[in-house]
Structure 1
Amino acid sequence: MTVLRFLALGAAVGALVALTTVPASAHAMLQSATPADGAVLDAPPSEVTLDFNEPVVAALGAVRVYNSDEARVDRGEVRGGEDGTVLRVPLARDAGEGTHVVTWRVASGDGHPVNGAFVFSVGSEGTADGTFIAQLLAGGDDTGLQAAAAALRWLLYAAVLLAGGGLAFLVLVHDRRKDERARLVRVVTVASVVGAVTTLLGVGVQGALVTGLGAGSFLNPQVFGEVAGSTYGASAAVRLAGLALLVVAAAGLWRPWATITGLVGAFLALGSFVLTGHTATTEPRWVAVGANLAHTLAAGAWFGGLILLLLALRRRKLSDDAVGGGRLVARFSAMATLAVVAVSVAGGALAWTQVRAVRALTSSAYGWTLLVKVALVGAILAVAGYNRSRLVPAIAGSGRGVTGGPDAPSAAWGTLRSTVRTEIVAIGAVLLVTAVLVNLVPARTAAGVTGIFSTTVPMGEDMLNVTVDPNRAGVNEFHLYLLSPTGQPVDVAGDLTVQLSQPALGIAPIEREPSVAGPGHWTFAGPELAIPGRWTVEVSAPVDRFSDAAASFGLDVNP
């Protein structure tokens, strides 16, 4: 597989990701706002306050407030609290009466962009254009940018793993054969350059997503500065430094200074991924960072080494150097074995930090996507095990005059090249799944394993959002929001009813009528969820004199 073919494959797979990816899910959550969603005030507030469940980064234009005349009434500045979880936005004195729409867009602690919107009214609900309000509440269409971000992530992972792992192969495995050195070094150099370009493009896309200013903000210095100050920017800076060292080192291999510089560059480039993403906000931090770092370094050695091994074997097959090929395969097999063990152990630890409970695997998009990744890795390990146990010994026997049999060197050579290609393609598929996985809400969060539970389910023609805090056995606080398809609060014709039951333990439905906290907003608190386990929650409300709307979902209460 030549470099150009690999890049062509990258473009094709990137296009596939762009066509199949879904918009990113939120990581930080808006816990409360003042004024509250759907509130009706007697007088205009002096500011809007947003309270998140974790520190967030407010980028350029992070919070905007529009009145019924579709004019912005915020002062264009965002003030953050000391711990980074609270944002305050001063409003103009002439904000006016009627319906106001607050739209916000921030970067969560793990670097992922998060956005949302809500409404409040002053005096009485205004008569703003419904289409305009719907567009603001939808938060803009980021589908194209999200797809571009996912495709760039795939190409970035592939390029950096090839550059860092390829350098490790050249230093630790390759025998410095002159007629193939230049080609292998060129692969590492090209991969490093592709990784650097992709990193810079990723910074631009991240800025567009965080600020909501679209592709036109790619060259905006202020937007670039916003991204540079985040965990995403720190990760990109370290990666660019590592890739630059790889390019310099590749030009001087195998001199002592170049060897050291190259290994340092590979460590920085591959290790940069732990500085942002889920790892940045996962506890215990040392487990998450350590597992992610080991996982990434090992994956690079495996993936980059495989590609360079395939190129080297093709050259040696053409020159009929069975002895040299056998020795090269044996040396790589030793490094690959360590990499496989590290990938498996570190991957298991990393999965635990993001899942925490078996139920989270089958109750979240993250869990199902992780299972797909595990299945792919399992298939790759089976192929790698066959290579090591059957093909590598046969090829290593090339220099000892071994002939005949189904595993004879001549037959094993062709089979090994095919299985190595299979491994490379399969690892590419794993990277594709990873490019989607890293932008999903961790399973532990989505399933409420480690904190507040939140879900949104259909209820008639509307959507019901429910949060349960702290989602542990004992006293819990429920908040229920009923929203129209455009995101506006929905009132019902009578009382909203909540029934809580745990069929497995024979606990019959416990019925509660939440109190009204605002338009389309109900709340109640109590010890109903005193027993941990799987509860069934059923919500119903009359939509008119003759019919009800209902919704139900499962709730796993933590001990």
Structure 2
Amino acid sequence: MTNRLSALLLLALSAALVVGVSPPAYAHATVVSTDPAEGAVLATAPDQIRFTFDEAVRAVPDGMQVFDSQSKLVRATTTARGVELGVALPDGLRDGTTVITWRVVSEDGHPIGGALTFSVGVPTPHVAPPARIPDVPWPLTLARWLGYLGLLLTAGLVIFAAAFLPTGVGVDRRVAAVIRAAAAVTVVAWLAILPITATYLLGDGLSLLTQGSTWSALPLTEYAVTAVVISGSVLAVALLGRGRVAAMVAAVLAATAPALVGHTRAASPEALVIGADALHLLAGSVWLGGLVGLAVTLPRLAGRGAALTLARFSSAAAGVLAALVVTGALLGWRILGSWQGLVDTSYGRLLLAKIAVVLIAIAFAAWNRWSLLPRLTRATKRPSSRPVVRATAIEGAILVVALLITGFLVDTSPEGGAAPASASSVDTRTTKLGDIAVRATLAPLARGANTVTLRLSNAAGEPTDGIAPPVVRLSADQTTLGAVPLTQVSPGFYTAKVTLPVPGTWRMQVSLRVSEFTNPVSELEFTVAG
């Protein structure tokens, strides 16, 4: 009874942790500001266009296209550095309206895009080329699902055979066949993910695969993770009959490698979230592989051998489920971050569906542990393992459904597809602190997650700094956030992520020590929507 009560308390705690009230972890990048601003009318053509995002982005080949006032494509050079994206324009840009369509990749590996228009001299009628980011292609979702299913099944079955089968019992030939089949699916699916992802990031068809620049759209971590997954899976299968410990090590490396890519790269603290994701993947593989292993192995083991195998796995399953619950709660907390996100975003609704499916699987696991296992161990005659096999098969099928939902979660934004910031959702204020000009921006001017940026420049318009970093404090009529932790991106450029809990007028106090005895302070006001 105590064990059952502990399990229920653990589940209740995990549900609370998943949707705790921590500030949300930011996922897909969004534009904080552009220079020039959207719709700006300039006297002369700029040498460079600058985009600032709320997280690091990566440029992709042909991701930036510049169209002049006659809709002709203009050659431009793109440079990405951290949260800044620069577009160097050629000399002789025609007067009139220029349109820039852009496409970059967020830190979590998803593409984002948009368009910027500005005019030199008198604006001209102009229609911006489409900059729509296509939906995630179904072959990519299918490949991810098959890849994760094959990987977790391969690693889990290897761990099951190495750790839970009684000493002296070899790997059943049917289990070995399932392991080999799962490993083959893993290899094919993970190899297919690379080209499909590359064409998705670039927004074009498979014809792009013949171009060498296409493959550079993927970061090196994608190639490294794929290599570890494939080599680890193959090595685990090859070593299983020769050395159980070595096979388990290879399986663990393969199962945990995918934690280095995806939404965890954009959540913070990064090391904690990646570690939790790795443990979550490992626990999931042990659970799924163990269930399939039991379903295939139990009918062929002697009565007491079946009871011993089931008892070993059931004892370990408590720790596995605890790891799944705690790490799943932590990941949901850091990636989603609020109760409202569970119902307001596609990611949250998928997460709720996954939680429901996993709870059903846990109910079957509890029935196995506290009902079927005692009957099997108390049997005086040769016990029948058929009820346990049926229950584990059903439990495993439920987990496959949970994995299917996970495949969609990987390609879904926790932010619900937030649009890039526009002129109406970004506000910029300027002031002077001594001889240093300060340009402060707040976006998207809505209750919840916002980004603060500060640019400091000298009289010549060049980036500069004080003798100490600037200090920013935010407050409203009845709410005070205090000092905002700023991150310096480059000389004279600072950014911070904040959560504004209420709408209304927010006051941003900016102070900067410009000399040993001088610390001027200025206050700027921003209007935040509800």
TM-score, with structure 1 as normaliser:
0.68
Spell out, residue by residue over 1:19-56, the C-alpha distance to the aligned partner (whole angstroms, 9 max, x if none): xxxxxx96111111122222222333222222111111
Map residues 94-493 of structure 1 onto 2, 5 A cutoff: 94-128=92-126, 130=127, 133=128, 135-139=129-133, 142-143=134-135, 145-175=136-166, 181-229=172-220, 231-250=221-240, 253=241, 255-256=242-243, 259-315=244-300, 321-398=302-379, 400-401=380-381, 409-410=383-384, 413-442=385-414, 466=425
Distance 1:289 1:180 in 2: 33
Distance 1:281 1:382 in 2: 33
Q: Note if 1:65 corresponds to 2:63.
A: no
Distance 1:395 1:311 in 2: 17
SS at match of 1:36: coil
What letter is aligned with 1:434?
Answer: T
Distance 2:441 2:214 in 1: 39
What letter is aligned with 1:275?
Answer: L
Name the CA shift for 1:248/1:414 in 2 (closer, same or farther; >3 Å). Answer: closer
Spell out, residue by residue over 1:291-315, the C-alpha distance to the aligned partner (whole angstroms, 9 max, x if none): 2121111100001121122122354
What letter is aligned with 1:396?
Answer: T
Map residues 539-554 of structure 1 onto 2, 5 A cutoff: none
Name the CA shift for 1:554/1:296 in 2 (closer, same or farther; >3 Å). Answer: farther
Spell out, residue by residue over 1:225-278, the C-alpha distance to the aligned partner (whole angstroms, 9 max, x if none): 33142x33332232233223224324xx1x23xx23322221221111211112
Map residues 11-26 of structure 1 onto 2, 5 A cutoff: none
State whether residues 109 and 281 of structure 1, in contact with CA within 8 Å, keep that contact through their aligned partners in structure 2: yes
What displacement does 1:146 show? 3.0
What letter is aligned with 2:65?
Answer: R
What displacement does 1:382 show? 0.9
Name the CA shift for 1:92/1:156 in 2 (closer, same or farther; >3 Å). Answer: same
What displacement does 1:95 show? 3.3
Distance 2:71 2:180 in 1: 52
Counterpart in the other structure of 2:56: 55
Distance 1:63 1:160 in 2: 36
SS at match of 1:33: strand
Q: Note if 1:36 corresponds to 2:37.
A: yes
What displacement does 1:365 show? 3.0
Gaps of 5+ in 2: 1-25, 429-439, 448-472, 481-499, 506-527
Distance 1:465 1:425 in 2: 49
Name the CA shift for 1:179/1:353 in 2 (closer, same or farther; >3 Å). Answer: closer
State whether residues 62 and 104 of structure 1, in contact with CA within 8 Å, keep that contact through their aligned partners in structure 2: yes
State whether residues 58 and 105 of structure 1, in contact with CA within 8 Å, keep that contact through their aligned partners in structure 2: yes
Spell out, residue by residue over 1:308-360, the C-alpha distance to the aligned partner (whole angstroms, 9 max, x if none): 221223545xxxx4343333322222232321121112222222222344344
Counterpart in the other structure of 1:531: 479
Distance 1:337 1:26 in 2: 32
Distance 1:554 1:197 in 2: 49
Distance 1:529 1:377 in 2: 45
Aligned residues: 428
SS at match of 1:137: coil
Spell out, residue by residue over 1:203-232, the C-alpha distance to the aligned partner (whole angstroms, 9 max, x if none): 112211222233222353332233142x33
What displacement does 1:286 show? 3.4
Distance 1:554 1:310 in 2: 56
Distance 1:263 1:212 in 2: 39
Larger helix percent: 1
Q: Percent identical across equivalent pairs?
A: 28
Distance 2:350 2:125 in 1: 44
Distance 2:353 2:477 in 1: 33
Distance 1:529 1:110 in 2: 36
What displacement does 1:174 show? 2.4
Distance 1:301 1:26 in 2: 29
Distance 1:154 1:341 in 2: 24
What displacement does 1:455 show? 7.0
Counterpart in the other structure of 2:90: 92
SS at match of 2:425: strand
Gaps of 5+ in 1: 1-24, 403-408, 448-453, 458-462, 470-475, 482-497, 501-524, 539-552
Spell out, residue by residue over 1:116-164, the C-alpha distance to the aligned partner (whole angstroms, 9 max, x if none): 2222223333344x4xx3x52324xx23x53222222211111110011
Distance 1:208 1:273 in 2: 20
Deviates more, 1:185-194 or 1:211-220: 211-220
SS at match of 2:122: coil
What displacement does 1:179 show? 8.7
Deviates more, 1:197-206 or 1:366-375: 366-375
State whether residues 27 and 266 of structure 2, in contact with CA within 8 Å, keep that contact through their aligned partners in structure 1: no
What displacement does 1:529 show? 6.2
What letter is aligned with 1:248?
Answer: A
Distance 1:365 1:464 in 2: 26
Greater relative contact order: 1 or 2 (C-alpha under 8 angstroms, separation 6 or more)? 2
SS at match of 2:218: helix
What letter is aligned with 1:241?
Answer: S
Name the CA shift for 1:428/1:467 in 2 (closer, same or farther; >3 Å). Answer: farther
TM-score, with structure 2 as normaliser:
0.72
Name the CA shift for 1:417/1:283 in 2 (closer, same or farther; >3 Å). Answer: same
What letter is aligned with 2:223?
Answer: G
Distance 1:67 1:308 in 2: 63
SS at match of 2:60: strand
What letter is aligned with 1:466?
Answer: S
Counterpart in the other structure of 1:79: 79
Name the CA shift for 1:308/1:41 in 2 (closer, same or farther; >3 Å). Answer: same
Name the CA shift for 1:218/1:529 in 2 (closer, same or farther; >3 Å). Answer: farther
Distance 1:90 1:554 in 2: 35
Distance 2:377 2:357 in 1: 28
